[in-house]
Every structure is written in C-alpha cells, then in structure tokens.
Amino acid sequence: MSSQHTSSLHNNAFDIDAIRSQFPFINHDSPVVYLDSAATTQKPQCVIDAINQYYSQQNANVHRGSHSLTAHATQQFEQARSRVQFFIGANSHKEIIWTRGATEAINLIAQTYARSTLQVGDEILVGEMEHHANIVPWQIVAQQTGAKVIKVPMTQECQWDMNAFHALLNKKTRIVATAHITNVTATRQPIEAIIGLAHQYGAMVVIDGAQGIVHETVDVQKLDCDFYVFSGHKLYAPAGIGVLYGKQSLLDAMPPWHGGGKMVEKVSFEHTSFADLPGKFEAGTPNVAGALGLATAIEWLTGFDVNHIEAHIHQLSHQLVKGLAAIEGVTIIGLQPQASVVSFTITLEGENIHHQDIATLLDQQNIAVRSGHHCAHPFMDALGIDGTIRVSIGVYNNEKDIKALLVALTKAIELL
C-alpha cells in the first residue's frame, strides 16, 4: 500500500485533488474528461498495485497444492472474502460467493435457486426499469420451468410503483427482482418496502446492487434481502470479479451450477459429493487477482466518509442539472435530486437529436459519456424514446469536468 494511500485512509477530510492524484488515468495529464463511471469506474493506483503485486510476486492457485505460495494466496483470497462479508454486513463468509460480476450472479440465482424451485404458473415480478441483466435470466428460467415474468410498472416520476406492486403480489409470487439504484436515472428504489411486502407473500427478493453499492452503506442483514449482487468494476475494482450474497439457508439448499474442480468433496463415476459453501458455487480456478483488487478497492473507499463522497457527488450533480437546464432543448429524464447519474435528451426546433450524434460530438471534444438504451430497452419503451445521453459522476470528478461538459455540449448543439 502506498504512503499516499495510507495517508488518505487516515484522513477523512475530502480532498478532491488528492483523490484525483491517486488515479493514473486522470493524474497522467489525460485530455479525456471521464463521465461514464456508471458503465465502469477508473481504478486507483492501490488497486492496480494489488493486482500487479499478486502476479509479479505471489502468483499461485488457491485451495490447491501444499507449497507456501499457494498457502499465502489462499489466505489472502479468503481474507478478501471476509472483507466483502464485513463490507455488506453478511452473517458469514460462507454467504459470499465470487462471480464474474452482477450479471453472472443473477444468472446463478436463476439457474440454481429459481430453476430448482419454480413450478408451472409461478410468478417472478421484475421492475420495468431494470437492466437487461435483471430481466433476461428470469425470462430464460421462466421458459425452462413454466413460470411467468410479470412486469412491475414505474410511475411517471420513474419510480417503482408500489401500488401496482401491491396489486400484483399474490400466492403465486415466488421471486421479486429489483435494482437498488437504477442505471439510467440513478433512481433509488424503495427496496426496504419492497422486501418487507414481498416477504409477507413468502416471495424471495433479489437486489441488483451494481449501482447502489457504490453510493450507500449496505447492510444485508438489516435489509433482510434474500440475495444481493454487485460487480467490482463499478466499485473502483477490476473487471471480471463480482459478488453474490445469499442467505446461508438458501445457498445450502441450492444445487451447484458449474461443475469442476474445487466445488467437489469426492468424485467417482458412480457418485459425486459437493463441497460446502462457498466452494460449492466456485468451480475452477477463480479470479484471485480480481478478489484481491476488490478487497483493496473496498479498503480504499471505506477509508473516506461516505457522507463526504456523496456530498461531493451531489454538488457536482447540482452543477450539472443547473447547467443543463440553461441549455435550450435539453430534457432531463426522471430527474432525481442529487443523483450520480443524469440522463437527458435533446430536441431542437421540434426535432429529436439522436443521442449518438451528441455523444460523438462530445467525444471529439474529449468528453466521455454514454449514449443509447443503457441495456434497459423496457425502460426506454416506457418513456417512448430510443435512448438518452447519460452522464455519470465518479468520486474523482470535479467542477472543471462538469464545466467542460457543459461547454462542449453547447458547442455540439450549435454544430447541429
């Protein structure tokens, strides 16, 4: 761990310049203003160092072999799991399953818990604003089992419609799936109320925390959610590593998904017995470097006061929203006060300007934003549009970044 990183961990005062200096992409005089953190975040030097150290000084497989390298790697790998357990308030390290990301975690739940328990006519309630990763796996398992995927509509304010949800819940409801925070508008869903109401009907609740884990302190026991999933790469950690949290009683009862090494206790051609949790769901060589990188990112992030981070992001969001409101033709979608994500469309003289055209013109001015449907076709369909321009703010962004975007956007519109 670098001395600079250690210093920042022991000083909760929010110093944006000091934070930016820890990100090589930003600190090395890159001309790009990066405003696409909801897609993936840039990585601090401490995370890059953790990955480099593993591969350059301690590379070994885990839970295999008897030499000191593998013993040390295994120890660090399991310490990383415990770090995640503490981070989200899980009851046991056995409830933390390594995955490639939130997408794989949801697919694992669908193909193990859901496929082994759903019957013909059972219902899965899924929010209209969900990312495709929290829709398609449920459609697949519904086709496999004869269950049905039922849409929970959103309100005009782009919120989960609790009245509609209450009306849809019934004795056939088995699973409810929702995002913690949506990836298009950063709408914070009422997950506490959703979980409480779903449990009254005996339904299990799956929370997609890919966006939420970055902005809130998560306590899965307090939430009482049955499953919570997130990806490392949106949390200033490497790509290719993610987490599935599940209540131990549910995970114990679920069958394995992938077969192979490590997830077994004994194999013969007549019978195979499976390993205990969490190994049962972690076949093959895991992403050891990714797990260590995720643990390092969590340590780095929790070294700051989350309230300071959110206040900083809210300030930038306010600056962004105020600036967008002053630009003729801009319509903000589902505006959430102080959101880390702002999506908008542009209409000039009654004509809708294609989001890709705007994003391309911004890119030519070194402003990186996302355009398109954001893997949320049903959300776009409900809004009656084919896509938006999305600006998403990370901990490393500053007021100059927002100003540069607004200037570039104004110029792009003038060119059109």
Q: How is residue 331 written in tokens?
A: 């319509």
pLDDT at residue 280, rounded to an integer: 94
Q: How many CB atoms lie within 10 A of CB 67?
A: 9
pLDDT at residue 87, rounded to an integer: 98
pTM: 0.94
Catalytic-residue membership of 375: yes
What residue ranges define each of the domains in the chain, with the CATH number in brackets?
3-43+305-415 (3.90.1150.10), 61-301 (3.40.640.10)
Q: How is residue 356 written in tokens?
A: 């890709």
pLDDT at residue 262, rounded to an integer: 80
The DSSP code sequence of 345-373 is EEEETTEEEPHHHHHHHHHTTTEE-EEE-
Question: Active-site residue among 46, 158, 225, 375?
Answer: 375
3-state helix, strand, coil in the chain (%, to 5): 45, 20, 40
Q: Are 304 and 92 in contact (CB under 8 A)?
A: no
pLDDT at residue 197, rounded to an integer: 98
Amino acid 296 reads T
Tens of pLDDT, residues 184-206: 999 999 999 999 999 999 999 99
pLDDT at residue 357, rounded to an integer: 95
SS3 178: strand
Phi-psi region of 412 (alpha: psi -120 to 50; beta: other; left: phi over 0): alpha
In the chain, which residues have pLDDT < 50? 1-11
pLDDT at residue 83, rounded to an integer: 98
Closest CA to 300 of 309, 310, 287, 289: 309
pLDDT at residue 286, rounded to an integer: 92
